[in-house]
Structure 1
Amino acid sequence: MSGLRFVFLMFIFFVSGCSHASDDGYTSGDIGGVNHTSSAINYVKVNGYGGPNISPFGDGGGYCCVQLPDKWKPGLKAHIEWETDPEPYAHLPPLGTDEYRKAYALHKAKYQQHSTIVDIPQYGKERCGLTVYFLPCNQVKVTTVCSGYGTPNYLIKEPLKMKEPASCPA
């Protein structure tokens, strides 16, 4: 492993609270996602691991694994990386043709890569991995709750189908 990659991975573990500097235990959980936007999520990574591709206004998950401390501590964070396809329903020429390869290269050039560090909300003994919520303006929220999206006690209240505003906050 190259030295730069090792330093980056150590930074991610430090930022995410995944360091084993104390004798606290950790539990692995699946990575999931809910997409509140009209773009496709080509992939999502949490602390370098993961994750699902998610259709516009859809969900996905079951990818292993994210490590969460058994006891939540203030300042616990996750590094989220994802790629979006702003035109997921683009019509391309027939697969396998030269026209397709050219059109796909132009389409793929529009993919956008994003990265952010988010706070992991407080949790108790019950937690079910980490679910990442993709909101307009490339905003992200995460939860560790076990109940499903849309249930009364769920933390994320934003509607599933959200429109991009005319302009996003700086």
Structure 2
Amino acid sequence: MKRCLPVALVVCLLLQGCVESRPTMLGAPIEGINHTSAAINRFSVNRNGGHNIGPYGGGGTQVCCAVLPRQWREGLTVVVEWEKDPSPYDYATLTEPMFTDAWRVRMEEMRKKNTQHSAVVEVAPYQELGVVTVHFLPCDQVKVAAGTTYAWLAEHPYQYPRRMEVPSTCPTP
């Protein structure tokens, strides 16, 4: 009997190699949709991905990757960080020749208006992990979906208009 135990243990370990294992976490492409008049200079989801999105722009451009669980679970959150330029059209008013000292000074003054943001955001429930869509809303609010549907389809959990105006008072977090 004592000899059978080690043999049985070895057989069990060898058979485990035959079991198909599926990862519990997967990398998913990230896209952003900006519903505001500001520019999103860059953003990230759990410190990954992100690109710039012009006012009322985005969607369709995907970068890699946010790591999320294959299956959604209650309380699932991500950290979204972004830089916002509240006056993206001011660059058109620059009259200094590009890359001169005067131009660099003006550019630096304009960049000082940019603000840095970070939010812990709940991820909308999904049946299957797909594209991670970050919606940038007025009042520095952010919503995140991560399913297999795209923002322009009726099945997407967030149906915001592309252009949203800032309300006279923003909700407090």
TM-score (norm: length of structure 1): 0.81
- Bigger share in strand: 1
Aligned alpha-carbon RMSD (Å): 1.5
Q: Can you give the 5+ residue segments of structure 1 that lack an aligned partner in the other structure?
A: 1-22
Q: Which moved more, 1:144-153 or 1:111-120?
A: 144-153
Q: Distance in 1 between matches of 2:50 and 2:78?
A: 14
Letter aligned with residue 131 of structure 2: G
Query: Residue deviations 1:44-80, cap 9 Å, x none?
Result: 1111111111010000532111111112111110000
Please identify runs of 4+ aligned residues in structure 1 that moved more than 6 A.
Answer: none
Which has the higher Rg, Structure 1 or Structure 2?
2
| Cα distance in 2, alignment partners of residues 169 and 121 from structure 1 | 20
Gaps of 5+ in 2: 1-21
Is the 2:131–2:150 contact (alpha carbons within 8 Å) kept by the matching residues of 1? no
Identity %: 39
Aligned partner of 1:17 in structure 2 is none
Q: 1:148, 1:44 → 2: CA distance?
A: 19
Is 1:119 the equivalent of 2:122? yes
Alpha-carbon offset, residue 24 of structure 1: 5.9
Is the 8 Å Cα contact of residues 32 and 53 (structure 2) preserved in structure 1?
yes
Structure 2 counterpart of 1:39, which letter? A
CA 1:113–1:87: 2 relative to 1, 3 Å: same
Post-superposition CA distance 1:3-37 (Å, at most 9, x none): xxxxxxxxxxxxxxxxxxxx961111111100000
What TM-score do the two structures reach when normalised by structure 2? 0.79
Aligned length: 147
Residue 147 of structure 1 deviates from its aligned partner by 2.6
Amino acid at match of 1:101: R
